[in-house]
Amino acid sequence: MSEKNVFEASPEAKGKAKQLRLFAVLAWVLAMAGQVFAILKLISDETLIWLIVAIVVILILAITGSTLWKKANKLDPASEKDKTRFFIQNQLGAIMGVLAFLPLVIFIFTNKDISGKTKGIAGSIAAIAMVAAGITGADFNPPSVEKYTEEINQQNEAAKSLGIDSDNVYWSAAGNKYHIHDNCQHIRGKALSNGSIKQSWEDKGISELCKTCKKKAAKSLVPSDVKELIETE
């Protein structure tokens, strides 16, 4: 594996990832604030409905934070070489999802001033929300510098087998595939970036060749006499 094909997030990708992480942290902070408010003001028989509403809002905020955080990790992944950072960065969504509910669940089930019915309803809903937030926040297939590097090199090898110049591909700002030709029907008339497959990964996280371009490239590899035979038949 050559050094030039090792993945490194672009400054633009790092900037976008930083922005997403800031919004994720904000969502988690609001979720924690909502939990504190629920613990202090809503754990009672009279406010059961509002407690359930608060649990739903906290869950939405927790999942929003986790979703933004995972998007940031795809743009700027951690390296598997630093195992502690790699685990924390990729599973922080699950950790924060659980923390957004665990104290609330404990306070509900240990509160002596509410009825068993309120404990059962509110406690069960909060516990289910905690599990949902934890599972949603977990990344079971986390991105990494090493994984991206391997996939970039696989893409380069695949491009080479199709006779594609891996240093001269195109992609659009809103697209999720790279293209061989700038006049491909899927990107025609759009603002395009041009560079290597590696750059498309680093700038946009693009890891797949356009199927239309792939078919054209594969067709161009077929010998002309075989093409004529196929067309005749």
Q: What 3-state DSSP class applies to 180?
A: coil
Cβ–Cβ < 8 Å for 48, 122: yes
Cβ–Cβ < 8 Å for 9, 17: yes
49-80 per-position pLDDT tens digit: 999 999 999 999 999 999 999 999 999 999 99
151-196 per-position pLDDT tens digit: 888 888 888 888 888 888 998 888 888 898 888 988 888 888 898 8
104-147 per-position pLDDT tens digit: 999 999 999 999 999 999 999 999 999 999 999 999 999 999 99
In this prediction the pTM is: 0.80
C-alpha dist (Å) from residue 103 to 73, 123, 171: 27, 11, 47
Domain regions of the chain by residue span: 3-137, 150-232
Residue % of the chain over a pLDDT of 70: 92
Looking at the DSSP bridge assignments, the partners of residue 195 are 169
Rounded-to-integer distance, Cα 140 and Cα 153, Å: 23
